[in-house]
Amino acid sequence: MAPGLVVLKDGNVVVWSGSKVVKIDLNTKAISTSKDFEGLVNDVIELNEKFLVSHDKTVSIVKKLSLEFIASFDVPRRPSKLCMVERKCYIADKSGDVYLVEIPDAEKLSIVTDPKTMKPVLGHISLIMDTFVSDKFIYTAEQDEKIKVSSRKHPFIIDHYLLGHTEFVSKIVVDENNSSLFSCGGDGTVRSWKNGKAEKVKEHDEETVCHSLVLSNDRLQYATVSFEENKESFIRTVFKRDLADYHTWKLASGSVPIASTAKANGDGVYWLIENEKSLQLFLTKDKEQELVLDNIAESSWKEDHWKVLRKAMEKSDNYDAYLKLREEGFKKARGSRKNKRKIMEPVADDAKKVAAT
């Protein structure tokens, strides 16, 4: 879907952009780039000494150190998010379904799936924008504003919905120890939920989209991106208990925050920032920020992603035109039938003449 990044257990960072996966060694600042994957890379997750990379309609398993290909399996539609719990891989896709594929613990892996007959464990009628799987629940956030919480043991049992967003939900962060969940979305709000009920709402300007929500210690960090031309983007930190502001960074004009991930030891957040030329890696810690690495990869986003998503969501029916017609009492409908009769008559006469001869 977009460039993204993830922090590994050893503290290093993996970035994906376009068709490539880039490993960054933070000590030496060395970058190692993989070969091109088929299609755009959507998500990368860590599994012991391997990576699972979802690209196009495939999930590839590669070696962590060398990024060498091990195995791959196909899925029916483009995945938007992967979630790993024990050895079970949950694959959420762009048409709204979530599939479960078990990854065996073996040196020589071979996983065979049949995309034509695979059945989802649960589904939405809408693009799934974010997923999280815990021991108890499967959380799925969709483009049609809903967050669905289903039982993990029996995914056909929906436990509850978290409703309140008025535009697509872009990211959710689950804090199960505190029965809490945080979400943000295209309506420019960041919301906190507790015990299945809405708690606090933090609003921003109209025409703003919030995304890339991250929980770090007791604070939440996210990005705000505006649809208005030449309006700057922000990275903001708020307290998770009441969503009150802690600190805000304004990004330089032309820079767009793309994705974020919390640092492994919970102390700071890595950000992938796109400027006109390429992707940069920033680290925010408390109220400080530093540029860790520049020119990591070419950015594949020549256009503003959020504008594209917003445009795709524009309503496309003729409801207003129909309402107008209705107000005029369907007069047009009656009128056009009368006209049709006039046009018909001469043809009927000709037909009679032809029949007679």
Partner 1 sequence: MEAENTISEKLIQLPQKRFYRQRAHSNPLAHHTFDYPACPAENYWDSVYPDRRNRKVRILDIGCGYGGLLIQLAKHFPNDLLCGLEIRVKVSDYVKDRIKALQHNAKVEKASDSEDFSNLGCIRTNAMKHLPNFFEKGQLTTIFFLFPDPHFKEKKHKWRIVSDTLLSEYAYLLQPEGRIYTNTDVEDLHLWMVDCLTNHPLFERIPDEDLKDDTCFKTMFEATEEGKKVTRNEGSKWPAVFRRLPNPE
Residue 351 Cβ vs partner 1, minimum distance, rounded to whole Å:
27
Q: Is 251 in the site for partner 1 (CB under 8 A)?
A: no
Burial (0-12, 13-18, 19+ Cβ within 10 Å), 141? buried
Residue 162 Cβ vs partner 1, minimum distance, rounded to whole Å:
9
Instruction: Give buried/exposed letters for 257-288 (b at 16+ CB in 10 A, else e).
Output: bbbbbbbeeeebbbbbbbeeeebbbbbbeeee
Q: Is 200 in the site for partner 1 (CB under 8 A)?
A: no
Q: Is 268 in the site for partner 1 (CB under 8 A)?
A: no
Q: Is 219 in the site for partner 1 (CB under 8 A)?
A: no
100-139 residues near partner 1, rule: CB under 8 A: 119-120, 122-126
Q: Is 97 in the site for partner 1 (CB under 8 A)?
A: yes
Residue 60 Cβ vs partner 1, minimum distance, rounded to whole Å:
26
Choice from 18, 164, 186, 188 touching partner 1 (CB under 8 A): 164
Choice from 33, 95, 113, 275 touching partner 1 (CB under 8 A): 95
Residue 140 Cβ vs partner 1, minimum distance, rounded to whole Å:
11
Count of beta carbons in the 10 Å neighbourhood of residue 161 = 11
Q: Is 328 in the site for partner 1 (CB under 8 A)?
A: no
- The CA distance from 150 to 20, in Å, is 33
Nearest to 271 by CA among 240, 237, 241: 237
- The CA distance from 225 to 205, in Å, is 10
Name the token pair of 30.
């060395």
To 5 degrees, how large is the angle CA 115–CA 55–CA 60?
Answer: 75
Between 196 and 266, CB nearer to partner 1: 196
Name the token pair of 290.
């530093």
Q: Is 326 in the site for partner 1 (CB under 8 A)?
A: yes
Q: Is 257 in the site for partner 1 (CB under 8 A)?
A: no
Cβ–Cβ under 8 Å, residues 176 and 196: no
Which one of 47-55, 155-163, 205-213, 281-289 is the stretch in contact with partner 1 (CB under 8 A)?
155-163
Torsion-angle region of 247 (φ positive above 0: left; ψ -120 to 50: alpha; else: beta)? beta
Between 334 and 352, CB nearer to partner 1: 334
End-to-end CA distance of the chain: 71
Q: Is 195 in the site for partner 1 (CB under 8 A)?
A: no
Q: Is 160 in the site for partner 1 (CB under 8 A)?
A: yes
Q: Is 93 in the site for partner 1 (CB under 8 A)?
A: no
Q: Is 313 in the site for partner 1 (CB under 8 A)?
A: yes
- The CA distance from 281 to 19, in Å, is 18
Nearest to 143 by CA among 173, 175, 166, 119: 166
Choice from 108, 315, 342, 352 touching partner 1 (CB under 8 A): 315
Q: Is 341 in the site for partner 1 (CB under 8 A)?
A: no
Cβ–Cβ under 8 Å, residues 267 and 214: no
Q: Is 308 in the site for partner 1 (CB under 8 A)?
A: no
Name the token pair of 215.
């929980």
Q: Is 244 in the site for partner 1 (CB under 8 A)?
A: no
Between 291 and 312, CB nearer to partner 1: 312
Q: Is 211 in the site for partner 1 (CB under 8 A)?
A: no
- The CA distance from 57 to 40, in Å, is 10
- Positions touching partner 1 (CB under 8 A) are 95-97, 119-120, 122-126, 144-146, 150, 154-158, 160-161, 163-166, 198, 313-317, 319-320, 322, 326, 330, 333
